[in-house]
Amino acid sequence: VASKLNSSGLLRTQGLIGGKWSDAYDGKTIKVYNPATGESIADVACMGGRETNDAISAAYTAYRSWSKTTAAERSKFLRKWYDLLMAHKEELAQLITLEQGKTLKESIGEINYGAGFIEFSAEEAKRIYGDIIPAPLSDRRLFVLKQVVRSYIVEEDQPTDLKGDTEVIWAKVFNFWSQIQRFIPEDMNVIQEVTMLGPHLWTQPVGVVGAITPWNFPLAMITRKVGPALACGCTVVIKPSELTPLTALAAAELSIQAGIPAGVVNVVMGNAPEIGDSLLASPQVRKITFTGSTAVGKKLMAGSAETVKKVSLELGGNAPCIVFDDADLDVAVKGTLAAKFRNSGQTCVCANRIIVQDGIYEKFANALRDAVLNMKVGDGFSEDVAQGPLINEAAVQKVESLIHDATSKGAKVILGGKRHSLGFTFYEPTVISDVNIDMRISREEVFGPVAPLLRFKTEEDAIRIANDTNAGLGSYVFTNSIQRSWRVAEALEYGLVGVNEGVISTEVAPFGGFKQSGLGREGSKYGMDEYLEIKYVCMGNM
Ligand code: ADP
C-alpha cells in the first residue's frame, strides 16, 4: 500500500511551511505505525517551536493576500481541493486504514464526510451575509458586516472591473456610500477613512488559525476546521496528531495541487507541547481550534488568555444512549451498534452509557449481544471486517482498567471483555450489563468497543442519569413516542441529539458540545462564524 501511495505523490513525511516541504531543523523524525500489524510505516519530521514560528510567519504573510481574495475566488480553490480529495478517495482511505486502523469501508466514509466539509465551505463562502438593522433613531443607519472584500474600495477609486456577483453587490454598497457621503460631515466621512487605510488589511476573518487535531478522524477533524477557516479568508497552521500525520500531509499536498497559494495551509507535527506553546504565544495567531481531550483543551484555553485568542474546542463526551420500553427493538439495536462500535468505539460521540428501561432491558441486552457477536474483528484491509484495532496499547489498557473496575463493582460481562486473539491492540467487541453510575465506566469516556448497559425505571430517571456528567456532546434516544422524543430531546443537556438514529454527524449540521465538551460549533452555517469577526457600523446624522 505504502509504495502505491508513494508513486501517487501523496506519501509525504516532511512538514509544510510556506508552501515548501521541510524536514525538522534538527533532522529529527518520529515513526508512524500501523496499529493492525505493529509495523512502522514511515518516519516523519519531528518539529518543534522554531518550525512552528516559521509556519506562523508564513501563514501571516499569506493572510495578507488570501484575506483579500473574493469569496468567489476562495470558493473555487476549495472546490478544486474537494474534487482532488474525492479523486484520490481510494488512496486517502488506504492511508487512513494504514495509520489509524479503521476498516477500509469506514475510511472511505471518512473521506466522503471529511471532503464534504471542504465542499460545503466552498459553497458557504459565498453566503456570508451581513445584516441591516432597523435603527432606533431616524437619522441613523445600522449595518452588520461579517465579510468585507478589499478590492477596489481600498485600492481603487471606482469599481471599474467588476467580475462576479460579490463585486456587483459591493459596487452597490460602494455607490450607496458614495451617494450618502455627501450628507455626512467631512470629519465623519466613512469612505475617506476607508480610503486612507490604503493597502492595509481591511477584512474580517479572524486571522491566522492554529488547528490542533486528534488521530481518530485523521482527515475529517482537519477539513472541518480548515474548510471554514479558508472560506472566511483565514490561513492555517495545522498540527495533526503524531499518530496519524500521513493523512494530513496527503491532504495538504492536494491543497497545493488545487492551487491554494503557498502559506495558506501549513502543517507542523512532532513535539506537541512545544508546537502548542508556540501557537499560543504568538500574537499573530488569532484563533485556536482544537479537537481532542478535555485536559489538553483546558490547557489551550488557558494559554489563549494571554493574547485573547478566539477559541473553539471539541472535547470529550460521555454520550448517553437511552432506550425506552416503547422503542422499536431492531431500530434501537441497529442504532446503538452504530453509535457504539463505529471506529472501534473511538469517537467522541460514541455511545458511552447505554441506558435501558426495565421492560425492554433483557430483550435489548440479548439482541445487542447477538448483533455484536456477528461483528468480525481484524485488519481494516481484510474483507468483511467490522472492527479494526484500537489506536495503541494505552487505549487497550484504559479499556481493561475500566472493565476491571466495573466488574469488581458488580457489572457482568455478557460478551467479550478481553483482548482479541489476533494480538496487538485488537480488543473483543464487548457488552457488559448491570452497570451503575458509580462505576468509572459511567463517568469516563471509554473510547473503545465496550457497550455498558445501565437500567432505569422512569423517564425522569433516564434524563437525570443522562445529564449527570460534565460532558454534553452526543446523545441518543430510542422511542416510538413523538411526545417523549421531544420532551427528552429538549431535556438533554447535549449539543447533539439523535432520535431513533445512531449516526448523525454531517457537514451541513452544527457539531459541538454543552458544558465541558467544548465551545463553538463545527460544520453548517454556524461553523462559519467561528472564523469571522462581526463588525457593527453605525452611520449617524443622516
Ligand atoms: P487524544 O487522547 O485524542 O490523543 P489529545 O488531547 O492528547 O487527545 O490529543 C489531541 C491533539 O492534541 C493531538 O494532536 C496532540 O498531539 C495534541 N496535544 C497534546 N498535548 C498538547 C499540548 N500540550 N499542546 C498542544 N497540543 C497538544
What is the per-residue pLDDT for 169?
A: 56
Residues recognised as catalytic: 314
Task: Look at residues 209, 202, 199 and name the one whose alpha carbon lies nearest to residue 230.
Answer: 209
Task: Look at residues 476, 480, 473 and name the one whose alpha carbon lies nearest to residue 339.
Answer: 476
Q: Whose CA is nearest to atom 25 of ligand 1?
A: 276
Question: What average pLDDT does this structure show over 201-222?
Answer: 90
* Best residue among 241, 296, 298, 346 to mutate for probing ligand 1, ranked by most atoms within 8 Å of CB: 296
**End-to-end Cα, the chain, rounded Å:** 68
Question: What average pLDDT does this structure show over 450-465?
Answer: 98
Q: Provide the pLDDT confidence category of residue 176 given band limits of 50, 70 and 90.
A: low
CB 127 within 8 A of CB 171: no
Residue type, 429: P
**Whether the predicted pLDDT of 466 surpasses 70:** yes
For β-strands 430-433 and 412-415, DSSP reports them as antiparallel
Kindly provide the residue ranges of all beta strands, DSSP E only, lying in 179-264, ordered along the sequence.
208-212, 235-239
Q: Provide the pLDDT confidence category of residue 180 given band limits of 50, 70 and 90.
A: low
**Whether the predicted pLDDT of 196 surpasses 50:** no
**Whether the predicted pLDDT of 464 surpasses 50:** yes
Note the Cα 91 to chain centre separation in Å.
22
Q: Whose CA is nearest to atom 22 of ligand 1?
A: 273
Residue 35 CB partners (closer than 8 Å, separation 6+) = 99, 100, 101, 388, 389, 390, 391, 392, 424, 425
Question: What average pLDDT does this structure show over 138-152?
Answer: 79
CB 297 within 8 A of CB 454: no
What is the per-residue pLDDT across 269-322, written as a single tens digit (0 to 9) for each? 999 999 999 999 999 999 999 999 999 999 999 999 999 999 999 999 999 999
What is the per-residue pLDDT across 35-47, written as a single tens digit (0 to 9) for each? 999 999 999 999 9
CB 58 within 8 A of CB 18: yes
**Whether the predicted pLDDT of 182 surpasses 70:** no
CB 328 within 8 A of CB 350: no
The atom number, within ligand 1, closest to the CA of 303 reads 24
The percent of residues in the chain predicted with pLDDT above 90, rounded, is 86
* Best residue among 221, 241, 398, 516 to mutate for probing ligand 1, ranked by most atoms within 8 Å of CB: 241
What is the per-residue pLDDT across 508-530, written as a single tens digit (0 to 9) for each? 999 999 999 999 999 999 999 99
Q: Provide the pLDDT confidence category of residue 158 given band limits of 50, 70 and 90.
A: very low
Kindly provide the residue ranges of all beta strands, DSSP E only, lying in 48-177, ordered along the sequence.
131-133, 141-145
What is the per-residue pLDDT across 329-377, written as a single tens digit (0 to 9) for each? 999 999 999 999 999 999 999 999 999 999 999 999 999 999 999 999 9
**Whether the predicted pLDDT of 383 surpasses 80:** yes
The per-residue pLDDT of the chain, averaged, comes to 92
**Whether the predicted pLDDT of 185 surpasses 60:** no
What is the per-residue pLDDT for 168?
A: 52
**Whether the predicted pLDDT of 161 surpasses 80:** no
- Distances in whole angstroms, Cα of residue 435 to Cα of each of 169, 335, 431, 443, 456: 60, 20, 10, 11, 11
What is the per-residue pLDDT for 183?
A: 55
Handedness of CA 265, 267, 272, 277 (dihedral sign): negative
Can you read off the three cell numbers belonging to residue 61?
504573510
**Whether the predicted pLDDT of 194 surpasses 50:** no
Output the ligand 1 site: residues, CB below 6 A: 212-215, 239, 241-242, 272-273, 276, 292-293, 296, 299
What is the per-residue pLDDT for 68?
A: 87
Residue whose C-alpha cell is 502548542: 276
Q: Provide the pLDDT confidence category of residue 113 given band limits of 50, 70 and 90.
A: very high
As a whole number of angstroms, the distance between CA 530 and CA 206 comes to 8
